[in-house]
Amino acid sequence: MSKTILERRLFGPGPSNPYPEATSALGLPLLGHLDPEFIARMDNVCDGLRVLWGTKNSRTLPLSATGSAGMEAAFVNTINPGDVAVIAINGLFGERMCEVASRVGAEIVRVEHDYGTPIDAERVAAAHPNPKVIAGVHAETSTGVVSDIAALGAIKGDALLITDAVTSIGGMPVLADEWGIDVGYAGTQKCIGVAPGLAPFTISDRAFERRVAKPQSWYLDLGLLGGYATGSTGGKRTYHHTAPVAMVASLEAGLNRIQAEGLEAVTKRHQEAGKALQDGIQEMGLELFAAEGHRLPQLTTVKVPNGVDSAKVRSYLLNRFNIEIGGGVAQYADTVWRIGLMGPNANPASVALILASLKEAID
């Protein structure tokens, strides 16, 4: 028998607690994946995702897998063996991009940055004269840093710009068309406030026309997926794989929740909660890890004070207060905490709870 777990407060790097509306929608009566009601639901979801992505791209859809599958889809559909990919690395997820791109045969040009600092577009521009792809992470969850994606769009030239918006989407403005993002992928489990399981994805016509003819992945082949979610573009919906209908219903509820509050109000709420947490952390005498001026509001990275056992604090928070926060990654595993305020958790009450419980855990 598993013991009953009271609702965890998920203040780590994700998943976050979902909006209640998104959780309730998981219990809706299941629809067939070709049911007209479901098709209408999928159309609503694609429309809602276009708003979050700041795009008019007709090919905007929730891929049936987590954010990493979005990353795979981005590279497997744009890179032929030997194509040059300039990848900006300022954390774990930039590293993962290199790993994924290498498996589809990219010639990778790494542009490495210190963890905790943002991507330098000028260094990316100088790395190669004519890459097929330039890629970077908008919100590096591993370090708590936001990078200027518009600056990458400004220097991309003829290259396709791939952007990871897993942690940014729904929590801060993402303007795919204005910034020049050609291929973007995200996840549902962070600021969108839905459980993990879908990867909101968008691809421009320009990138779609230049896509790989026969990608190594059948499941993530955007050419084949065209008929899966193109109802709102006038295309006829065809079977590709069985849509995860319950997750799509949940995503629709989450997007409706965001729309009802207003996207601008939602991002402002994230901004204010993150600032309050970061101010409070510093008032406690703790130091932040991410460079000033480039800090994500929805994911705060904190240096573990000298003499404090990171893991002990995290398990104290979990066992005493039912609160999850994250440890660091790579060489920072034991020296950094990652505290997320995403989706419904981005509010003043969460900030007060985290500050008070963290103080008790450290003392």
Q: Which segments are annotated as binding site?
A: 338
Options 67, 184, 328, 343; binder of ligand PLP; rule CB under 6 A: 67
Of 47-55, 103-111, 164-172, 289-297, the window that binds ligand PLP (rule: CB under 6 A) is 164-172
Kindly state the smallest distance separating residue 49's Cβ from ligand PLP, in Å.
Answer: 16
| Cβ-Cβ contacts under 8 Å for 329 (sequence gap 6 or more) | 91, 92, 142, 143, 336
Instruction: Tokens for 346, please give them.
Output: 């981005």
Of 16-24, 29-37, 65-73, 75-83, the window that binds ligand PLP (rule: CB under 6 A) is 65-73
What is the identity of the amino acid at 174? V
Kindly state the smallest distance separating residue 199's Cβ from ligand PLP, in Å.
Answer: 7
Kindly state the smallest distance separating residue 154's Cβ from ligand PLP, in Å.
Answer: 22
* SS3 state at 338: strand
Under the criterion CB under 6 A, does residue 166 sit at the interface with ligand PLP?
yes
| Cβ-Cβ contacts under 8 Å for 71 (sequence gap 6 or more) | 93, 96, 97, 100, 164, 185
d(CA 170, CA 158): 29
Q: DSSP secondary-structure letter at 211?
A: S
**What does the radius of gyration of the chain's CA atoms come to, in whole angstroms?**
20
Binding residues for substrate: 338
d(CA 74, CA 187): 14
β-bridge pairing 133-137 and 145-146: unpaired
Q: C-alpha dihedral over 9, 13, 14, 16, to 10 degrees? A: 30
Kindly state the smallest distance separating residue 206's Cβ from ligand PLP, in Å.
Answer: 23
Under the criterion CB under 6 A, does residue 231 sit at the interface with ligand PLP?
no
Number of shown-chain residues binding ligand PLP (CB under 6 A): 13
Under the criterion CB under 6 A, does residue 216 sit at the interface with ligand PLP?
no
Closest residue to ligand PLP in the complex (CB): 67
Of 39-47, 160-168, 311-319, 321-329, the window that binds ligand PLP (rule: CB under 6 A) is 160-168
Q: DSSP secondary-structure letter at 340?
A: E
Residues numbered 78 to 97 that lie near ligand PLP (CB under 6 A) are 93
Which residues pair with residue 332 across a beta bridge? none
Options 196, 227, 235, 305; binder of ligand PLP; rule CB under 6 A: 196
Q: Considering beta carbons, is residue 14 or 54 the nearer one to ligand PLP?
A: 14
Residues making up the chain, counted from first to last: 363
8 A C-beta contact, residue 279 and residue 290? no
Instruction: Tokens for 40, please give them.
Output: 């209408």
Residues numbered 262 to 321 that lie near ligand PLP (CB under 6 A) are none
Residues 244-263, one symbol each (x = binds ligand PLP by CB under 6 A, - = not), give --------------------
Options 55, 141, 301, 350; binder of ligand PLP; rule CB under 6 A: 141
Residues that bind ligand PLP (CB under 6 A): 13-14, 66-68, 93, 137, 141, 164, 166-167, 187, 196
